[in-house]
Structure 1
């Protein structure tokens, strides 16, 4: 299986009135890259190795049209038929706490059952895509693998959470004021304890998927089940 996160952002802002015009990308997607690095650390130091091998892919060019993941999915380092699943991390906003996780694309494959079960074991719950009209499942790096026939999910904390902590930044505020802006930087009130918990949740999901006895499969009624086939 392959775990992915994109390491690029959008460069220098031409429209910002701030002195600092660099789009730092702390949440988009340094938070995803950091989470993936920590997951790799957990796998490396685990007493029991997973039954399936795990590839960690840090791709670039996501903001330019999924270019890095598209190239890798087209020219993978192992046969594409041997890649059983992709779990992608893109912009986990770690400035607020929630016990709800979105797995974009989960309803299209058997990955949903494993993700949901793992979350419940960790006192979390899987919730439905709150914005299906935005077609987010086809807008990040997992879609490069989906087009090659690989079942995938894209994991983020709930974007519909009501934040009561006055020091936190809600997902709504982040998306309105910091997304693709220079202010997406380390001055945001990043909750590092929650960030560590988010790592553990993602590691548990990846570990359970890597050890699952059955290969993940698309649901027969999903449009995506038709992709990647000659």
Structure 2
């Protein structure tokens, strides 16, 4: 059994690495909104959404929107840029609970070539910001989780929306657009799980999360899932954080954000694939997969719980 588990984790680590390597490759040039690289990343995500059986909303996996780009960022002139969220859903198996939705997401955009006015920590030099951890890692986890969900013989009771946001770096723009243009009734969206920078698991195996207390017994669930996970979750009931799940929390939707911590390569051209911990990424993906399936099958009612 131990051999089987190790073999399975190695397979998942290889899959995690494959996705991250492509999304953080130089040919995508940092995935800045409005660029060919950003569109290639969206097409890659869409390919796997379709492969693993997600249904479309409004006959498309894309939710287009525009972002305003300041002059100088990514060698671009000041203008609006067209980009898109990528999304799809799995219908729940319960005839009643399928009308409730759990959202799981990760942003796929990054800072492109950087430049003055961008979020780069090295504004003086134009260089590709590949964002292997920020946030090719989150998208890699999202696709790994989707692949595992697709293998389930019986689907979760509640429906699940998988979404990859664009425009996060410019101020959570993709998630803000989504929550104000939901394809389902707002009251039916019960919990949002977000992954942003989950590719650098440290030696202590610490997975940080904020917002676990925004839905009933959330902290207790996350503690229970630690057993046999190979991780040491650092669980906060509040401390919701600063990524796309905040857009949901501000709309009174339960939201949990996951990450594996900061590092000196954050928002620099050095955030590359060679620093990614793929084995750790596989463990994180498995933990969040378990959280997602548990929440989608929750026996008790899900409702928003505000945190300080």
Q: Same fold by TM-score, threshold 0.5 exceeded?
A: yes
Cα pair distance change 1:215/1:103, threshold 3 Å: farther
The aligned residue for residue 198 of structure 1 is 284
Deviation at 1:114, TM superposition (A): 1.9
Q: State the partner residue of 1:152.
A: 255
Tell me the CA shift for residue 2 of structure 1.
0.2
Larger RCO (CA within 8 A; separation ≥ 6) = 1
1:97, distance to aligned residue in structure 2 (A): 4.0
Bigger radius of gyration: 2
Deviations 1:145-198 (A, max 9, x none): 1122110100123x4xxxxxxxxxxx5xx2xx210000001232x222222222
Distance 1:69 1:97 in 2: 32
Report the structure, 1 or 2, having the larger strand content. Answer: 2
> In the aligned structure 2, how far is the partner of 1:71 from the partner of 1:28?
20
Contact 1:87 1:154 in 2 (8 A): yes
2:307 pairs, out of 219, 222, 230, with: 222
Deviations 1:3-55 (A, max 9, x none): 0100111121334677x711110000000001001101111111221111110
Q: Give the conservation status (yes or no) of the 8 Å contact 1:23–1:184.
A: yes
1:83, distance to aligned residue in structure 2 (A): 0.8
Equivalent residue for 1:114, pick from 201, 221, 227: 221
Secondary structure at the residue paired with 1:84?
strand
**Which runs of no fewer than 5 residues in structure 2 stay unpaired?**
1-101, 116-121
Distance 1:12 1:121 in 2: 41
Deviation by residue 1:83-132 (Cα, 9 ceiling, x = unmatched): 11000001113253444322212234422222222223535443245xx9
**Contact in 2 for aligned 1:116/1:125 (Cα 8 Å):** no
Is the 8 Å Cα contact of residues 119 and 205 (structure 1) preserved in structure 2?
no
Q: Secondary structure at the match of 1:94?
A: coil
Give the one of 83, 88, 104 matched to 1:3. Answer: 104
What TM-score does the superposition give when structure 1 sets the normalisation length?
A: 0.78
Tell me by how many angstroms 1:140 deviates: 0.8
In the comparison of the two structures, how many residue pairs are matched? Answer: 199
1:12 equivalent to 2:113? Answer: yes
Aligned to 2:56: none
Change (3 A) 1:128 1:207: closer
TM-score of the superposed pair, with normalisation by structure 2: 0.59
Alignment check: 8 A CA contact 1:118 1:208 kept: no
Q: Calculate the aligned-residue CA RMSD, in Å.
A: 2.2
The within-5 A match list for 1:133-152 is: 137-152=240-255
SS in 1 for 2:169: helix
CA distance in 2, matches of 1:114, 1:217: 15
How far apart in 1 are the matches of 2:105 and 2:301? 19
